[in-house]
Chains A and B, each alone.
Chain A
Amino acid sequence: MELAIGIILGCCALGAGMAMIAGIGPGIGEGNAVAKACEAIGRQPESRSAVTTTMLMGCAVAETTGLYALVIAILLIFLAPGRLVNILVETMNTLG
């Protein structure tokens, strides 16, 4: 029983860590977008305001992917272990 609970907790922690790998993507994407925005402003300095607004909105959209990963990680850390252990205990009790 303890072994099964340990495996569940370990897998949840491992899954949360793996989910957070998706957090790398938005960082790279936002970095590339800002680099290109710098280039655009260098070419047309008068378009700074328009580029900043577009950048902000673009970054907010790009970050959503990372937020999905964050939510999965939070669910796996805080909610999944309790539920899964309860299911395991109930199953064990049913089987006797």
Chain B
Amino acid sequence: MKKIDPTVKSETLYISAWTILLSVLMQSVFLIVGLWKLDVLFGNLISGACAVLNFFLMGITVQKALGEKYSDEKNASQLMRFSQSMRMLMQLALVATGAYFFNPVAAIIPIFFPRIAVTFRPLFNKKDIKDVSDNASDDSE
């Protein structure tokens, strides 16, 4: 098996950390409101794991598509489309399982946690933004 790109690993870790943090937050809200049951926890676990797995698989596909084997743009594009369809089916199956057997709200909300993590990403990579802006100013000169 080909080695996983360090960028994919670090980004997946970042998304996992945010998913755990937001899951704890969501469980706390359920507890405070008085709606906490064991099915809330199980729904959250299934859906949170599904969200992180989806992001990781997306990272692996991006790594594969940007690799030498798929250097042709058309092949890379097709690979990404196929991967997206398969990941969508996987999410449908897992989240539907969580929503049907456990708590629907607790199963649906965690699939948006990676999106929230991405929204807050610029706060944590100020160095990268600075590097990019430095490079842009070098190019313009």
Q: Which residues of A contact B (CB under 8 A)?
A: 23, 26-28, 30-39, 41-42, 48-53, 55-57, 59-61, 63-64, 66-67, 70-71, 73-75, 77-79
Contacts and interface: CB of A to CB of B under 8 A. Distances in A.
Contact of B118 (A60, A73, A75, A77): A60
A77 B107 CA distance: 14
A50 B10 CA distance: 13
Given A66-B88, A73-B92, A52 B63 contact: yes
B71 A42 contact: yes
What bracket does the count of chain B residues touching chain A fall in? Answer: 35 or more
B99 A78 contact: yes
A63 B62 CA distance: 14
Contacts of B71: 38, 42
Contacts of B54: 63
Given A64-B115, A71-B108, 20 more contacts: A23-B85, A27-B85, A31-B77, A31-B84, A34-B76, A35-B77, A38-B71, A52-B63, A55-B66, A57-B118, A60-B15, A60-B55, A60-B118, A61-B115, A63-B84, A67-B112, A67-B115, A71-B111, A73-B92, A79-B104
B138 interface: no
A53 B6 CA distance: 10
| B interface SS class | helix
| A interface SS class | helix
B92 A53 contact: no
Interface in B80-122: 80-81, 84-85, 88, 91-92, 95-96, 99-100, 104, 108, 111-112, 114-115, 118, 121
A30 B128 CA distance: 23
Contact of A52 (B62, B118, B128): B62
Given A28-B81, A35-B76, A66-B84, A56 B100 contact: no
Given A42-B71, A79-B104, A56 B77 contact: no
Contacts of A56: 7-8, 11, 55, 58-59, 62
B74 interface: yes
